Amino acid sequence: MERKSPSIATIPAPGFSHLLPLIEFSKRLVVHHPHFYISFFIPTLGPPSPSTYSIFESLPPQIDFTFLPEINMEDLKTLDAETQIYQTVTLSLPSLRRHALTSFASPTHRLVAMVIDFFSMDALDIAKELKLKSYVLYPSATTSLSLCLHFPELDENHEMVPTGFRDLSQPLKLPGCISFQGKDLPDPFLERSSEAYKTILHACKQLRLPDGIIVNSFVDLEPEVVNALQESNQNQYPLVYHVGPIIQTRSTNISESDSECLRWLDNQPRNSVLYVSFGSGGTLSQDQLEELAQGLEMSGHKFLWVVRAPSASTNSAYLSAQKEDPLSYVPQGFLDRTKGQGFVVPSWAPQIEVLKHDSTGGFLTHCGWNSTLEAMVYGKPMIVWPLFAEQRMNAVMLTEQFKVAVRPIGDENNNGIVKREEVARVVKILMEGDEGKELRRRIQVFKDAAAKAVSEDGSSIMTLSNLAQEWTNLIGN
């Protein structure tokens, strides 16, 4: 009787920044180990976008996908984004059970393991029911993973965090990590009484339960915290596997209008353009959007800006697409005045191709971990402008630990808004002068380290091979 091939079930969480690392991890696994078969079971809060469908339809034949029935948005509308995401997965578990059991009976593949997102923790119960090995793909830095692993113990110290981490009197220093002020920690950690705090605490407690944690980082990027987790393991935490950087290698669905910005880049001098983008869901207020526009104009430097319609919420476009025309919100006359200096794109740009481009000399970014890794892989120094999630932690790491970025200072007397003069100042630091050259030199070091990690005998590829061998060995058990 012919031996079955190993099959992996993957359960992402809603939100492109959670879906992307699982997709790219799966692609890398089947490229290096083509005998694997991977099934995506995708919880949905609304109808999948055409771009999401096209991504899945372009995947290798060893990867299939099922969109689970939509969860009623009305049931979750009053919740914060983190709890919405978590509850969407939890409410999808009954249909997931039905699909997982069907997959389990495949004549050609044996389901041996389940890989889930950090916000899909309640799916661990299904892995246990099916006697599967379970793994969490943690989509961010090892440093923020360390915070999550230590969070349950930190939460018990009510003297240190009486009402939440916002009130920390001393910087938080985790083993192997740089220090963080309370205000730099993710929003859900800041207020003990919030629903988001309870959601994240629950997820962090569950993080002790899987057989392993797969991290989208690489050993040479964060060696101190990697070593600290290894030393403190002693069966306290699951095994941690560093397989990053996991990023897209090309953008999907580049339309004619998207190609226009790339043609514009083709006509610009080398390293002359600042790319400005706040990720797949970040939004600015109207006042901040206007200050950013005026600051880019004042800087005198060329820019390619992905504009999204403003909102009072920093993540309003994360779980639902915006319908307004973003270009109608920029200052009057701005597009005409900056015609030769800048190129403005509504809502989306082919980021991989932009960051690869020789004309792109820097990246003003919200510090989402996917964008951070892409900037490192393509060697672009950054202006960091964090908005939500763990982005403030990433910003501290990029400026103080890696020293590959500069951070604008907000006006404390005006809701933290970054004024146009400050925008112009940091753009000039990045794009001209000695400090910008030093940032560019340092980012090249990380670019080389990232390339080495995913080379044929690099640390991340070897770790992936070891993990694949562990899963293959389960066929005989």
42 vs 39: CA distance, rounded Å: 10
Count the neighbouring beta carbons within 10 Å of the beta carbon of residue 92: 25
73 vs 212: CA distance, rounded Å: 32
Residue closest to 11 by CA, chosen among 155, 132, 179: 132
Q: Is the peptide bond before 43 cis (omega within 30 degrees of 0)?
A: no
**Which of 33, 117, 122, 187 is the catalytic position?**
117
**Which of 18, 33, 242, 301 is the catalytic position?**
18
Give Cα separations from 322 to 74, 137, 251, 309, 315 (angstroms).
18, 29, 20, 7, 11
299 vs 289: CA distance, rounded Å: 15
Question: Catalytic site residue 336?
Answer: no
For residue 375, the Cα-to-chain-centroid distance in whole angstroms is 12
Dmax (CA) of the chain: 74
Residue closest to 148 by CA, chosen among 121, 111, 110, 171: 121
Count the neighbouring beta carbons within 10 Å of the beta carbon of residue 146: 22
Q: Which helix (H) or strand (E) holds 422?
A: helix 420-431
Which positions ≥6 away from 74 have C-beta within 8 Å?
Answer: none
Give Cα separations from 56 to 61, 64, 253, 464, 476 (angstroms).
10, 8, 12, 22, 31
Q: Is 272 exposed, middle or buried (0-12, 13-18, 19+ CB in 10 A)?
A: middle
Question: Catalytic site residue 117?
Answer: yes
Residue by residue, DSSP assigns 261-312 as HHHHHHTS-TT-EEEEE-TTT----HHHHHHHHHHHHHH--EEEEEE----S
60 vs 64: CA distance, rounded Å: 8
Residues with a catalytic annotation lie at 18, 117
